[in-house]
Amino acid sequence: MADNRVICVGCALWDTIFSVDHIPSRGTKILPRQAVQAASGMATAAAVSIARLGGPVALWVRIGDDATGTMLIDDLSQSGVCTAWIRQVPGGRTPFSTILVDRDGERLVVPFIDPTLEADAAWLPLDDIAGAAAVMADMRWLQGAHAAFSAARRLGVPTLLDADVAAVEDLNALIPLADHVLFSEPALQLLAGNVPPEEALLALASRCEAKVIGVTLGERGSLIWQREGSSTAVQHFTTPHIRAIDTLNAGDVWHGTYAYGLAHGWTLAERVRAASVAAAIKCEVFGGHRGAPTLAQLVARLGAEMSPC
């Protein structure tokens, strides 16, 4: 393995985030307590999380060649993310979203993604994957994720899928290409219905070759299955008890931290525990992924039980 670099593939948006007392149920005008603008999106927020931890990370996404796209690239460059392979599509509009976060940390997200933004992935520098430690993808750019995962599989580079809500056929297309399949709870329910999550994970494990299959359950922690011999055990990992200020991007920080741990050779338990603590730290700070911890902050919170370096 040449280095600890992670490649993140998927979506990028320019977020405007408002902190408000409550999310209104009818038309009105409200004044926010705080406001933040930043580059975001699932793969993007995960990439920023990896950079905050000090890991080398490249982001492969499509945006427009507009002023919003320029702001997005500048913001990511300042965050330490490699932006060399962010494609600015001529004539395209950079995706953007407006988000309200209430006093309990819950949010209302209104995204706009240009439907004409080209989906072709032929421009991706797939040869670069040979020197990477891991490739992570979200569900928002099927063609890019499929191309990157297929190349990683050929090159023996581990792949990690942030399996959030998407068309079932898209989930079924990418799951066979991922070594680590990590679901959000709604996405797992989309595939398995009302089956208990433990049973759903075991059923999926019998149908694919993934080394790790798991689901994040918010404040209820996470359930993780690892392919080890004939084991059928699903492990439950808890998450710290906190007062959430802003849950936006918590899952993305979780996945980014897990990918960082994977790239640095941490055990499964170390990866999951660190990811859970990182997501909790993020939720204590307003501003989406701006609350993602540095490695020093993460180690301090983890305490003496694990000291990754």
Quick one: pLDDT at residue 1? 39
Calculate ∠ Cα 106-111-113, nearest 5°: 155
Query: Would you say residue 307 has pLDDT above 70?
Result: no
Mean per-residue pLDDT for 107-123? 93
d(CA 175, CA 196): 20
Mean per-residue pLDDT for 107-134? 94
44, 12 Cβ separation under 8 angstroms: yes
pTM, entire model: 0.94
d(CA 160, CA 138): 9
Question: How do beta strands 34-40 and 13-19 pair?
Answer: antiparallel
Quick one: pLDDT at residue 230? 56
| Owner of token pair 């507009």 | 66
Query: Would you say residue 304 has pLDDT above 70?
Result: no
Q: Report domain extents, the chain.
A: 6-23+33-305
Mean per-residue pLDDT for 139-143? 97
Quick one: pLDDT at residue 3? 79
In percent, the amount of the chain with pLDDT more than 90 equals 90
Quick one: pLDDT at residue 305? 44
Quick one: pLDDT at residue 47? 98
Q: Give the DSSP H/E element, type plus range, for residue 180.
A: strand 180-184
pLDDT of 77-90, one tens digit each?
A: 999 999 999 999 99
Quick one: pLDDT at residue 303? 85
36, 290 Cβ separation under 8 angstroms: yes
Query: Would you say residue 2 has pLDDT above 60?
Result: no
Quick one: pLDDT at residue 228? 80
Q: Which among 13, 47, 14, 101 has a CA at the least distance from the CA of 287?
A: 101
What CATH number labels 6-23+33-305? 3.40.1190.20
Query: Would you say residue 33 has pLDDT above 70?
Result: yes
Query: Would you say residue 308 has pLDDT above 80?
Result: no
Mean per-residue pLDDT for 156-176? 97
